[in-house]
Structures are given as structure tokens and as C-alpha cells.
A and B are shown apart, each in its own frame.
Chain A
Amino acid sequence: MSTIASNKVIDNTIDTPGRRTTLVTGNQTYGSITHMVSRISEEAQPLAWWVTFILAVPTLGMFGALIVYLFLTGVGVWGNMSPVFWAWPIVNFVFWVGIGHAGTLISAILFLFRQNWRTGINRAAEAMTIFAVVCAGTFPGIHVGRAWLAFWLTPYPSLNLWMWPQFRSPLLWDVFAVGTYASVSLVFWYMGMIPDLATFRDRSTSKFRRLVYGILSLGWSGSSRHWMRYEKAYSLLAALATPLVLSVHTVVSFDFAVSQLPGWHTTIFPPYFVAGAIFSGFGMVVTLLVPVRAIYNLKDVITLRHLDNMNKIILATGSLVGLAYATEFFMAWYSKNPYEVFTFINRAFGPYWWAYWIMVSCNVISPQLFWFKFFRTNTIAMWIVSIFVNIGMWFERFVITVTSLSRDFLPASWGYFSPTWVDIGMLVGSFGLFFTLFSLFCRYLPIVAMAEVKGVMSQHAHAEHRHDHSHGASH
């Protein structure tokens, strides 16, 4: 059967206690799921894809050109200044790394919590993770000034330097954390794709496709012995990736929090950064999947239920972030430390008050709309809120980095940071990189984890069968 999703959207967000709603709507069969997902890479791409791709590639080109310009001229082309030595690039880095959290979170943590709804969205979210980490990794790579010597960060026996990296520095922890995260996420993503790549291989009509997907799928046959080890490996990876996700943003928060700067040095930073990262990651997943779902007509596998659940997570993590803001403010006041007090008043009412209030309204206030079911299930409304979340989380990093630095202990050295056109161009350019990679992903790889969705369908059928059975028995 090859019925592709009807345009009718089925509301599967209504709860019946004791009974799980279906996560795949529209009477899909295993075969129709295969077809629905595989056809995306087999058929010509829709107009929306071309528009995205054609916009994204020149933006990526601009990013590359700006990096070359930066290398040839020096970091002076950025707005970084005294005392805001750490500004736009680190903000972009933390922003992208944060976004790169949802993918592995959906794959790993939701897997451990047996949240079956993850299967509809995890593949795209993992891809988003990889691409966001690529974008994030670019910034520390280029901001070291002499980027061609960035390999000095690795602990290798150097005949020139006769010395080793400084493991007591949080920046080096960051190299290890982001490096581990990127490589483990990549392998997690790839491993998850092997069965679906085998599906692509077996459906391919051209020899070339068969060869490429055949190599990529490593000769996967679907043997039950293989599946058994595969599932075990998947759950082990999930168990490893869960603390890894937490550790990455924790280490990013250490970059700030081990210092003595008011506004950076506070113990809630690790969990608060992690909550913020999950928040921004889910924001980005919604931003991406609402259009993807519409463009490729995937409404039956990425259902309203999936979106509803993600919006609830956005609400929860947004509120957590709000709680962390409140705790920080309270503790600054409670501590009676004049520097802390000043920093927080300065954040809210100092020269960067606008950034602060953008952050609060986007991160704390706008997700509160998700208390209402209308906003959780209306795709346009949630898409707008998710954009606000992305903006807010970028500003959060801006507020943390720039306000604390621009007014430190020495009033004589206070300054006001303004970005240069290169700064802004690089932020925009990194989106070009991200969307180029993401559109290529949509074009060539399975954007929904078909095998996992089928597994959930089977599980649901069994549960329904059991339910009917027990009901029949009781009556």
C-alpha cells in the first residue's frame, strides 16, 4: 500500500488515561512508511527545498569569504575590544552548541525514558545536532587568532614546543567535551541510520545509488542477531550519551563559571546552561520540523502529538531557565556582595538593558503561551514562538558574556561593545552553513527513522490488542 499521508491532520493529542494515542496517524502500513520517507530522496525536490538551498549556499559562501578575510587580516575585524575580549564569536559558539543538544537528547534521554514519540523526530534532530556542532566548532577554531595552530590544543608530543596542553584550564576541557560530543553524536547518528540506509539501498533503482547506499549501510541485512546486538549497542550509547549531553554544556558553563567575574561565577551555571541548551535545541527542532513536516507531507509520522510534546518540553525548560534567572538575581541580592548586586542591576537596567529584556521576554515569557493547548497544537503559533526562543537564547549568551565583561571591577576600563559588519556577517553566515548541511541531509538521507517508527507501530498494535483483549474479558 502506498497511500501517502492525506492532507487531513488528525488531532492525536487528546488523552485517554490508560491508553496510548497512536503516534502514526492515517492508517499507515510498514510499506507506506517506507515509501513516505524514502520517496523524499528519490523524487525531485519541492520548490521550498530549492529556495532554501539557493539562499543557503551563497550565505555559506559569504561565511567562507569572511573567514578568509579574518585570517588574512586578523581578529581586529571583529568588534572584540577591551574589556569585552570575548564577545560575538563565543556567543555564537555557545548558541550553536546549545542548539546541538536536542538531537542527542531526543535520541538518548528520551530513549532511556521510553518516550516512543521520539522516533518521529529523532533523526532530523540528530542531524540538526551534528550540523549545529559543526557551526559551533567553527567559532573557537577561527577565534584563536592563528587558526592554523589550533592543533596545539591536542596533547601530542611536540618537537617544537616541548610542552603539553594546560589541563587545568576549562577551555581545554571544552575542546575535549565538544570534540567527544561531536564525534559520539556523529557515530550515534550514523549507527541509527544504518538500517534506514539499507532500506534506501534495497529500494534504489540506479546502480550508483545502490553502490553508495550499499557501502554506507555496511551490508545490513536485518538479521535478528544483528538487531539484538544493535539494540544493545543503541541503548548503551544512549546511556553514555545522556551524561555526555549534560557534560558538554556543563563544561561550556565552566568556561564562564570558574572565573571570578560577577555574573559568571555562580554555581547554578552547570544545570542552568544544560536546561537552556535543551530549551534552545527543542526550539530549533520545532523551527525546522514544522516546515519540513509541511513541505514533505510528513504529518502522519511527525504528528501534532510530537509537536505538542516538544512544546511541553520547551515550556518546562523555559520555566527552568526562568527559575535559574530568578535564583541568580535572588542570590546576588542575598549575598550582599556589591559586585554581584551591581552586575545584576546592570544587566537589567544598564546599557544592555534591551538585550536583557529581549532575553527575558523571549525565553521566559513567550514559552508560557504553551500552557494553552491552542499554541501547542497550532503549527504557525508554535513556529513563531520557537523563533522567539531561538532569538532569546542567542541573547541569553550575549547578555551573559557581554554585560559582565563590559563593566567589570575597574570602572576606568568600562566599555560598550558593538559588533562590526564582519561579526554580523559571520552569524548570518553560520546559518548558511547550517541550512546548507540540513538541506543536503533532507535531500540524500532518511529524515525519519523508518525502522524505529515501524517498531513503535508494532508495539502500539500489540498494546491495543492487549487493551481490547482485557476490555473484552472484563465485559
Chain B
Amino acid sequence: MAANTLNDNVTMPASWRAKAPLLLAIGLCGVLVSLGLFHFGSSPENEATGFRMFFHSYLANYIYCLSFCLGALFFVLVQHVVRAGWSATVRRVAELLAYTIPFWAVLFAPILVAVFTNHGHLYEWSKGAGEIPAIVEMKLDYLNPGWFLFRAVVYFAIWCVAARLYFRMSREQDETGSTEITLKLQRWAGPFIIMFALALNFAAFDWVMSTDAEWYSTIFGVYIFAAGMLSFFAVMILTCYMMQRNGRMEKYVNTEHYHDLAKFQFGFIVFWSYIAFSQFLLYWYANIPEETLWYKHRLDLSTGWRPLAYLLIALHFAVPFLGTLPRAVRRNKNLLAGWACFILVVHWLDMTFLVMPNVGPASFMMLLGHFVCWIGMVSIFLAFFMYRVGETPMVATRDPWLPDSLAYQQMPM
């Protein structure tokens, strides 16, 4: 069959790896340049000082990258817990993505700086008692720097242990081909999912929701999860596509896998919209001031963020929903790669929408700085990913499910 002529190479092109230091440098420069831009564009009357904008922008872009790495971790765990066969060819990509989480733990440092310098650049509560609204002051028993640090350590510990375990064991299977490893990973997936869910839920509250410490929403963790899973599938599709364009993984990832990934991506477009709509509808309908304030910052004409909200409805739901609905699109990897890029852009808009309006009204310099910071953070992500991949095969070639995965065909219609 045609498979014989396909390339069996499953390692990343060496030329990509060689670019990792350059990307890292670009990334760091981008982040620093954005700080400069923010400083230049700061307007003290809006309290939107350079540092305030910078830290918010950093957080938004940080969560942007971290969310799909967490999505990758969840994907790996779920594939094991349900004994999935179809995903055996692409699971290694997710394992590698997830295993960049330890790097992200290091990049959490600037957020800790913002917390421990007590200027409230990022979190109002970090200023401590006396300078903050009474209701936030009451929350200091939860939102205080020491306890925040402790929780962050716990979250990262859970994720890093899981990511490392699933990556190392899968690598071990590359050597031994032992099915015992699969069984072991399947057994551990359940408990890890529970810990993962708790950590993600509370991390979303701690890191993102508490940028507006007066506001709260119980669905917030699910929202971040939905956004992360969606962008993860986009990253996955794009990674496979780029590898295949360079003649890698050709033998392993076929149209059926793209189709499945696209279906998941489509599903999470709908799921994200469902969660976002539920949160909005409940707060809009009940119309309780302390809850609608969050939306007022984002929907009030005076703040300049309203167009972003409409953009999200259009670009994060309607357009990709209709765009990836046809079966033909889902089975065409070129189109699919285009949609994956699209999703990764709107995911950035989404994270911007969550975090940036807390700084104040939108301004050109703010958006410019935020954009530069995004470019920087994505470069850092790419560098991390390439360091992490190194010479590791991008397919778990001795996974017991691999034959099943390769043989699978969707319903022919």
C-alpha cells in the first residue's frame, strides 16, 4: 500500500531544534520590549501604569500558553483512563507538550514577583489590609501571598509529577514495549485526573479570577479548562501538520486521526461557547451589581472592550463553528491547519478578554504591548517545546494500541 512509500522518521527536524536558543532570545526580548511599550503607553490617570499593564499582559499570555499544555496533560490522562486506541499515534505529542509544564513553573516567577512586591500591580489583594476595599480585605484569609505561593507550588507539583510520570513511562515503553506500562498508566490516570481537576479549578480561581478580587464565579475553572482543551487540540493539529510537512510522522498520522482531532476541536468550540454563555446568561439575568461589574468592565462602551466581546461571539463561536462543521473540512489537513491557527488567535483574544480589562480602558499602546508580549511568550513556548522534544520520537512507536490506531477508519460517508 501507499504506506510503504511514506517516511518513517518520527523525530523533529534538527534545524528546528537548532532554532530553539534563538526563539528563546526572541521571546525574552519580546516580553522585555512589551514592558517598555507599556511603560511608554502608561496613563497614570487610569491607574494603568506600565507595570500594571505589563503584569496583566504577562499573566494573560502566560495562561494562554499554560492552558494548552494543561489541556495536553488532561488529554494524556483521559486517553489512558478510557483505554483509547485511536489516539496512540498522536499521544506522544501531547505527552511532550504536557512535559513543558515544569518550564512554565519557572516562568511563574514574575507573577510571584508581582504578588510579593505588594504594589498590587497584578492582584489588588497583594497590597494587604488597609489599602483595599473592605470586601477584598475580608478575603485576605485566602488571598495572601504566602498561601498563594503554597497553593501554586501544590498545583505545579501535581501537574509536573503527572506530566513527568506519563512521559517517562511512555518513553520506557519505547524501549521495552511492555504492556504492563500501559496497564499501570491506566490505573493511575483516574486519581491523577481528580487531582488535576482540583488543581486546575483552584489555579483558575487563584491566578485569573482573583485579578478582580471582588468578583467570583463558580464556573470559572471549567471556563479555563474549556479554553485550554480547545487550544490544545489546535496546537496538536498544527504540530502534526508541521511535522508532516517536513516529512515526519507521515506513516502514523492519517486523515482519520486528523478527523478525530478536528471533531474534538469542534466539540470544544461548542463546549467553550456553552460555558461562556452559561456564565454570562446567569449574571446578566440575575443582574446583581457585584456580579455584573465584571461584565460592565468588559461591555461598557466607555472602556473600549466591548468590540472584543462581540469579536469573541463571532470568532470564538460562530465562525469556527460553521467553518469546521463540514466533514470535508475535517478531513482536509491543510484547511484544518488554517483553522487551528485561527483557534490559537481567538484563544489569545479570549485570554485577553479575561484579564486585560481589569487594568482599565483599552488603549492602542496597551494592545500593542500586549501583542508584542504574546509574540514573545509564543516564542518562548516554541523554544520550550523544542528543547523538550529534542531527539525524542514524536510517536510512541511501541504502544500496544498503535496497530489499532493505524487501522481505524471512520464511517465512510
Chain A interface residues toward B at CB < 8 A = 15-20, 112-114, 170, 228, 231-232, 235, 243, 246, 250, 254, 257-260, 265-271, 315, 319-320, 323-324, 327-328, 330-331, 333-337, 371, 463, 466-467, 470
Query: A269–B282 Cα gap in the complex (Å)?
Result: 9
B413 to chain A: which residues have CB within 8 Å?
228, 231-232, 235
Indicate if the CB atoms of A323 and B182 lie closer than 8 Å. Answer: no
Query: A330–B205 Cα gap in the complex (Å)?
Result: 11
With CB as the reference atom, state the residue of chain B lying closest to A19. B400
CB of B283 closer than 8 Å to a CB of A: yes
Assuming the A-B contacts A260-B288, A270-B278, are A17 and B400 also in contact, with contact meaning beta carbons closer than 8 angstroms in the complex? yes
Indicate if the CB atoms of A267 and B217 lie closer than 8 Å. Answer: yes
Instruction: Tell me the smallest distance from the CB of B199 to a CB of chain A, in Å.
Output: 12
From B135, B139, B219, contact of A268 by CB (8 A): B219
Indicate if the CB atoms of A470 and B179 lie closer than 8 Å. Answer: no
B138 to chain A: which residues have CB within 8 Å?
336
Assuming the A-B contacts A327-B218, A334-B139, are A267 and B279 also in contact, with contact meaning beta carbons closer than 8 angstroms in the complex? yes
CB of B221 closer than 8 Å to a CB of A: yes
Having A15-B83, A267-B282, one finds 19 other A-B pairs with CB under 8 Å, namely A15-B183, A17-B186, A17-B401, A18-B401, A20-B404, A243-B270, A250-B274, A258-B285, A259-B286, A260-B286, A267-B279, A270-B274, A323-B198, A324-B218, A331-B218, A334-B139, A371-B190, A466-B407, A467-B403
Interface residues of B in 397-413 (CB under 8 A from A): 399-404, 407, 411, 413
> For the complex, would chain B's binding face be called helix, strand, loop or mixed by DSSP majority?
helix
Q: Could you show 6 A-B contacts with beta carbons less than 8 Å apart?
A: A231-B411, A267-B217, A271-B219, A323-B197, A331-B216, A334-B205
A463 to chain B: which residues have CB within 8 Å?
404, 407
CB of B222 closer than 8 Å to a CB of A: yes
Assuming the A-B contacts A15-B186, A254-B282, A258-B282, are A268 and B218 also in contact, with contact meaning beta carbons closer than 8 angstroms in the complex? yes
With CB as the reference atom, state the residue of chain A lying closest to B210. A334
Indicate if the CB atoms of B275 and A258 lie closer than 8 Å. Answer: no
Assuming the A-B contacts A267-B219, A319-B194, A336-B139, are A16 and B278 also in contact, with contact meaning beta carbons closer than 8 angstroms in the complex? no
A254 to chain B: which residues have CB within 8 Å?
281-282
CB of B358 closer than 8 Å to a CB of A: no
Indicate if the CB atoms of A335 and B216 lie closer than 8 Å. Answer: yes
A243 to chain B: which residues have CB within 8 Å?
270, 274
Q: Count how many pairs of residues, one from A and one from B, have CB atoms less than 8 Å apart in the complex.
A: 107
Per CB-CB distance, the 6 closest pairs between chain A and chain B, nearest first, are A18-B400, A268-B218, A17-B182, A267-B219, A17-B400, A258-B285
CB of B67 closer than 8 Å to a CB of A: no
Assuming the A-B contacts A18-B400, A18-B404, A336-B135, are A323 and B201 also in contact, with contact meaning beta carbons closer than 8 angstroms in the complex? yes
A319 to chain B: which residues have CB within 8 Å?
194
Query: A343–B193 Cα gap in the complex (Å)?
Result: 30
CB of B310 closer than 8 Å to a CB of A: no
A260 to chain B: which residues have CB within 8 Å?
286, 288
Interface residues of B in 265-294 (CB under 8 A from A): 270, 274-275, 278-279, 281-283, 285-286, 288, 290
CB of B142 closer than 8 Å to a CB of A: yes
A112 to chain B: which residues have CB within 8 Å?
263
A17 to chain B: which residues have CB within 8 Å?
83, 179, 182-183, 186, 400-401
Interface residues of B in 352-404 (CB under 8 A from A): 399-404
What mask results when residues 202 to 244 of chain B are scored 1 for a CB within 8 Å of chain A, else 0?
0001000000000011111110000000000000000000000
Indicate if the CB atoms of A250 and B282 lie closer than 8 Å. Answer: no
From A228, A250, A267, A315, contact of B218 by CB (8 A): A267
From B218, B281, B399, B411, contact of A328 by CB (8 A): B218
Query: A335–B139 Cα gap in the complex (Å)?
Result: 8
From A20, A235, A265, A327, contact of B201 by CB (8 A): A327
B288 to chain A: which residues have CB within 8 Å?
260, 265
Query: A324–B197 Cα gap in the complex (Å)?
Result: 11
B194 to chain A: which residues have CB within 8 Å?
319, 323
Query: A467–B278 Cα gap in the complex (Å)?
Result: 46
A337 to chain B: which residues have CB within 8 Å?
290
Query: A15–B86 Cα gap in the complex (Å)?
Result: 16
Instruction: Tell me the smallest distance from the CB of B377 to a CB of chain A, in Å.
Output: 28
Indicate if the CB atoms of A271 and B275 lie closer than 8 Å. Answer: yes
A113 to chain B: which residues have CB within 8 Å?
82
Query: A262–B124 Cα gap in the complex (Å)?
Result: 26
Query: A136–B353 Cα gap in the complex (Å)?
Result: 40
From A15, A257, A331, contact of B282 by CB (8 A): A257
A327 to chain B: which residues have CB within 8 Å?
201, 218, 221
Interface residues of B in 53-107 (CB under 8 A from A): 82-83, 85-86
With CB as the reference atom, state the residue of chain B lying closest to A323. B197
From A250, A328, A331, A335, contact of B278 by CB (8 A): A250
B286 to chain A: which residues have CB within 8 Å?
258-260, 265
Query: A463–B407 Cα gap in the complex (Å)?
Result: 9
Instruction: Tell me the smallest distance from the CB of A118 to a CB of chain B, in Å.
Output: 13
From B135, B218, B290, contact of A266 by CB (8 A): B218
Query: A334–B147 Cα gap in the complex (Å)?
Result: 14
With CB as the reference atom, state the residue of chain A lying closest to B274. A246
Instruction: Tell me the smallest distance from the CB of B77 to a CB of chain A, in Å.
Output: 12
Query: A17–B181 Cα gap in the complex (Å)?
Result: 9
With CB as the reference atom, state the residue of chain B lying closest to A271. B222
B221 to chain A: which residues have CB within 8 Å?
327
A320 to chain B: which residues have CB within 8 Å?
197
A257 to chain B: which residues have CB within 8 Å?
282
Query: A17–B413 Cα gap in the complex (Å)?
Result: 30
Instruction: Tell me the smallest distance from the CB of B198 to a CB of chain A, in Å.
Output: 7
Query: A402–B186 Cα gap in the complex (Å)?
Result: 41
Indicate if the CB atoms of A268 and B222 lie closer than 8 Å. Answer: yes
Query: A113–B275 Cα gap in the complex (Å)?
Result: 21
With CB as the reference atom, state the residue of chain A lying closest to B213. A334
Indicate if the CB atoms of B216 and A334 lie closer than 8 Å. Answer: yes
A269 to chain B: which residues have CB within 8 Å?
278, 282
Query: A375–B222 Cα gap in the complex (Å)?
Result: 30
B201 to chain A: which residues have CB within 8 Å?
323, 327
Indicate if the CB atoms of B222 and A18 lie closer than 8 Å. Answer: no
Interface residues of B in 135-149 (CB under 8 A from A): 135, 138-139, 142
Query: A170–B278 Cα gap in the complex (Å)?
Result: 13
Instruction: Tell me the smallest distance from the CB of A68 to a CB of chain B, in Å.
Output: 37
B278 to chain A: which residues have CB within 8 Å?
250, 267, 269-271
Indicate if the CB atoms of A270 and B219 lie closer than 8 Å. Answer: yes
Query: A333–B139 Cα gap in the complex (Å)?
Result: 9
B399 to chain A: which residues have CB within 8 Å?
18
Query: A20–B405 Cα gap in the complex (Å)?
Result: 12
B263 to chain A: which residues have CB within 8 Å?
112
Instruction: Tell me the smallest distance from the CB of B267 to a CB of chain A, in Å.
Output: 8
With CB as the reference atom, state the residue of chain A lying closest to B287. A260
Interface residues of B in 312-336 (CB under 8 A from A): none
With CB as the reference atom, state the residue of chain B lying closest to A231. B411
Query: A270–B219 Cα gap in the complex (Å)?
Result: 9
Query: A21–B50 Cα gap in the complex (Å)?
Result: 61
Instruction: Tell me the smallest distance from the CB of B282 to a CB of chain A, in Å.
Output: 5
